[in-house]
């Protein structure tokens, strides 16, 4: 019998449990305010020093962030963390994202560099390193990339050999473009262990043979140090090995999965800041005798900027909720002492690798929204936006990197489709829970009172269902036509990834709006407007690639329409302008 599987079942979360920025307590407000005050009072006033490479200022800010608990927000208390909930850590990550290069540095330190030790370290490694990393006393780096191994990162040449007699490993090689290298006290290094394959090590900065190259002359994020790491016959004790021999690739990729989601939060922080800066400027700048904020084209820009931020933020918070069970399972497994090291790495990595497609799509969506928003913010500034005296000019330079690192957006698009196809083969997705989403039998709109919001949600849900059905048909046809080679058909993969990303984005926005209907904040006040623009955007950016993919594999799809959004964008702009003083 022919197997028909809904490859979009990943969407079927119980939407009433979805994580959204609105569903928060006073404690969440408090930790967000702590982060906001740190950003506003401590980091941004020191941006010039940070940008000029003042390492003392950078280190002092790490210690301050550590004192405030902003590095280890969700880290267990016994390692110096605050052990707060998921929403708290999202709010903090996003807020720290407002600090540009400093935000990149601390994002990498508290994510991709700290997570290998938390999830794959043994108790001795965890208790030795994590408290110092959480306190900001020691800064960490993640060293994977090499000159000839960028996207193809698992094929680096850095080597490790076991010296049986001296009970140590000897590491040699060069890692390239390592964030924090100049200030790091510890590096998580990936090397090819003779006869075993890629293996991870925790390498202290003060080991003989460790050195750091000159600071790179980058286009942006100057507040985030970047340099190469040189390992010249560096001897590390057997206790520096992380996880299990030959399992470094699992560690590298599973923490990268989390890092991609965390990078989305950083990008959202930059996006939010750019919207505020652009709106404030639009109100202040006068041309033709009036503020430029009164011009329809400027207002429409602000409308799109805020609407896309809303959508990308909805997706990122929702994914965090979907990731949470896997992260919890990973931590439980990490603390077990009855598992063999190999089995432990395998199972922890597998738990962390739930929601690969969702993590990758958030990285792509948030960084591309960031690029769009900052570009438009420069445009709103006119020529002044091109002058380095204006913060938005720096943000424009800073923004370029997020589409390149943590897996380029091309590599992440491949990851989205690979994960969807393999979930399809497994007939289940790690992210799926119940079937009560717009893609399932229940309707978000049905629970709402009659009115504009309900009507918009009904229309959007109808289109979303049609998109999902169409997507499923196209994937089915593509798999039938290409088989396993589908992932090598990159133009098709790109279109499928974009269609999937915008469906997920639309659904996330609709869920957030529906959940906020009787709550507080912008998702309630402008729910119908955000839903309408999210719907139009999903059609604009998701349906076109879907139709192109359908045509390519010989499938015909109809019934995909979207609303007039011109009025909605003006209403959103009105809100943004009203909020910014």
Ligand X SMILES: Cc1cc2nc3c(=O)[nH]c(=O)nc-3n(C[C@H](O)[C@H](O)[C@H](O)COP(=O)(O)OP(=O)(O)OC[C@H]3O[C@@H](n4cnc5c(N)ncnc54)[C@H](O)[C@@H]3O)c2cc1C
Q: Enumerate binding residues for ligand X (CB under 6 A).
A: 108, 141-145, 150-151, 177-179, 218, 226, 401, 404-405, 408, 410-411, 490
Structure tokens at 223: 């507040």
Q: Please, what is the minimum distance in Å from the beta carbon of residue 171 to ligand X?
A: 15
Nearer of residues 150 and 521 to ligand X, judged by Cβ: 150
Helices (H), 24-136: 26-37, 47-51, 55-67, 86-96, 100-108, 115-120, 123-134
State whether residue 179 is helix, strand or coil. Answer: strand
Instruction: Identify the burial level of 437 via C-beta atoms within 10 angstroms of its C-beta, where 0-12 means exposed, 13-18 middle and 19 or more buried.
Output: buried
Nearer of residues 143 and 186 to ligand X, judged by Cβ: 143
Nearer of residues 294 and 408 to ligand X, judged by Cβ: 408
Shortest CA distance to 359 belongs to which of 257, 239, 443, 510? 257
Nearer of residues 7 and 415 to ligand X, judged by Cβ: 415
Find where tokens 């809303």 sit.
Answer: 310
Q: Please, what is the minimum distance in Å from the beta carbon of residue 231 to ligand X?
A: 14
Structure tokens at 498: 């974009």
Q: Please, what is the minimum distance in Å from the beta carbon of residue 426 to ligand X?
A: 23
CA distance 272 to 309: 7
Strands (DSSP E) found in 500-564: none
Sequence-ordered list of residues with C-beta below 8 angstroms from that of 540, at least 6 positions apart, any chain: 562
State whether residue 137 is helix, strand or coil. Answer: coil
> Active site residue: 51, 146, 391, 406, which one?
406
Contact predicate 530/523, CB 8 Å: yes
CA distance 273 to 256: 26
Sequence-ordered list of residues with C-beta below 8 angstroms from that of 500, at least 6 positions apart, any chain: 8, 357, 361, 416, 417, 420, 471, 542
Q: Please, what is the minimum distance in Å from the beta carbon of residue 68 to ligand X?
A: 24
CA distance 523 to 514: 9
Give catalytic status of residue 507 as yes or no: no
C-alpha pair distances (Å), 541 with each of 48, 456, 544, 546: 38, 19, 6, 9
Q: Please, what is the minimum distance in Å from the beta carbon of residue 75 to ligand X?
A: 20
Q: Please, what is the minimum distance in Å from the beta carbon of residue 235 to ligand X?
A: 22
Nearer of residues 177 and 304 to ligand X, judged by Cβ: 177
With helix as H, strand as E and coil as C, how does 369-393 read?
HHHHHHHHHHHHHHHHHHCCCCHHH
Sequence-ordered list of residues with C-beta below 8 angstroms from that of 491, at least 6 positions apart, any chain: 552
Residue of this chain nearest to ligand X (CB atom): 150
Q: Please, what is the minimum distance in Å from the beta carbon of residue 418 to ligand X?
A: 11
Q: What is the separation of C-alpha 2 from the centre of its chain, rounded to a whole number of angstroms? A: 37
Find where tokens 């957006």 sit.
Answer: 409
Contact predicate 27/200, CB 8 Å: no
Nearer of residues 8 and 409 to ligand X, judged by Cβ: 409
Nearer of residues 144 and 395 to ligand X, judged by Cβ: 144
Nearer of residues 28 and 250 to ligand X, judged by Cβ: 250
CA distance 367 to 403: 6
Q: Please, what is the minimum distance in Å from the beta carbon of residue 144 to ligand X?
A: 3
Q: Which residues are marked as active site?
A: 406
């Amino acid at each position: 019998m022919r197997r028909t599987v809904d490859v979009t079942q990943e969407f079927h979360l119980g939407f009433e449990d979805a994580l959204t920025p609105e569903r928060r307590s006073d404690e969440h407000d408090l930790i967000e305010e702590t982060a906001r005050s740190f950003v506003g009072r401590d980091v941004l006033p020191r941006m010039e020093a940070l940008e000029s490479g003042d390492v003392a200022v950078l280190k002092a800010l790490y210690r301050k962030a550590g004192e405030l608990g902003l590095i280890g927000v969700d880290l267990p208390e016994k390692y110096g963390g605050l052990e707060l909930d998921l929403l708290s850590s999202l709010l903090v990550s996003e807020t720290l994202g407002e600090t540009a290069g400093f935000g990149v540095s601390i994002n990498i330190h508290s994510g991709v560099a700290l997570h290998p030790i938390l999830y794959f370290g043994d108790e001795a490694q965890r208790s030795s390193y994590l408290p110092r990393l959480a306190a900001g006393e020691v800064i960490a780096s993640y060293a994977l990339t090499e000159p000839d191994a960028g996207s193809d990162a698992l094929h680096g040449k850095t080597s490790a050999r076991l010296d049986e007699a001296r009970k140590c490993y000897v590491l040699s090689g060069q890692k390239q473009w390592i964030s924090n290298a100049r200030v790091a006290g510890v590096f998580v290094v990936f090397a090819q262990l003779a006869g075993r394959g890629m293996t991870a090590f925790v390498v202290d900065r003060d080991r003989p043979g460790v050195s750091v190259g000159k600071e790179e002359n980058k286009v942006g994020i100057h507040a985030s140090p970047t340099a190469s790491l040189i390992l010249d016959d560096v001897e590390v004790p057997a206790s520096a090995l992380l996880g299990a021999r030959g399992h470094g690739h699992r560690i590298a990729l599973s923490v990268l999965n989390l890092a991609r989601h965390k990078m989305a939060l950083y990008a959202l922080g930059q996006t939010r800041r750019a919207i505020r800066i652009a709106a404030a400027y639009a109100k202040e700048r006068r041309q033709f005798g009036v503020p430029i904020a009164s011009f329809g084209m400027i207002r429409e820009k602000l409308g799109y900027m805020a609407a896309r931020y809303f959508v990308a933020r909805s997706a990122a918070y929702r994914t965090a909720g979907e990731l949470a069970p896997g992260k919890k399972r990973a931590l439980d497994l990490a603390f077990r002492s009855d598992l063999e090291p190999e089995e432990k790495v395998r199972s922890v990595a597998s738990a962390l690798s739930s929601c690969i497609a969702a993590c990758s799509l958030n990285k792509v969506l948030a960084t591309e929204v960031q690029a769009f928003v900052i570009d438009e913010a420069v445009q709103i500034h006119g020529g002044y936006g091109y002058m380095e005296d204006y913060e938005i000019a720096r943000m424009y330079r800073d923004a370029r990197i997020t589409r390149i690192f943590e897996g380029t957006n091309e590599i992440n698009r491949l990851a989205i489709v690979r994960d969807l196809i393999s979930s399809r083969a497994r007939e289940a997705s790690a992210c799926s829970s119940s079937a009560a989403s717009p893609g399932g039998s229940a309707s978000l709109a049905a629970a709402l009172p009659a009115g504009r919001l309900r009507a918009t949600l009904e229309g959007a849900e109808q289109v979303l269902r049609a998109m999902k059905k169409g997507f499923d048909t196209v994937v089915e046809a593509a798999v039938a036509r290409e088989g396993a080679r589908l992932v090598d058909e990159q133009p098709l993969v790109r279109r499928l990834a974009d269609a999937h990303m915008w469906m997920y984005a639309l659904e996330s926005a609709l869920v957030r709006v529906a959940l906020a209907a009787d709550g507080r904040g912008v998702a309630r006040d402008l729910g119908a407007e955000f839903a309408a623009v999210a719907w139009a955007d999903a059609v604009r950016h998701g349906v076109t690639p879907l139709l192109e993919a359908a045509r390519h594999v010989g499938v015909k799809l109809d019934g995909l329409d979207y609303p007039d959004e011109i009025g909605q964008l003006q209403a959103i702009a009105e809100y943004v302008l009203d909020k910014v003083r």
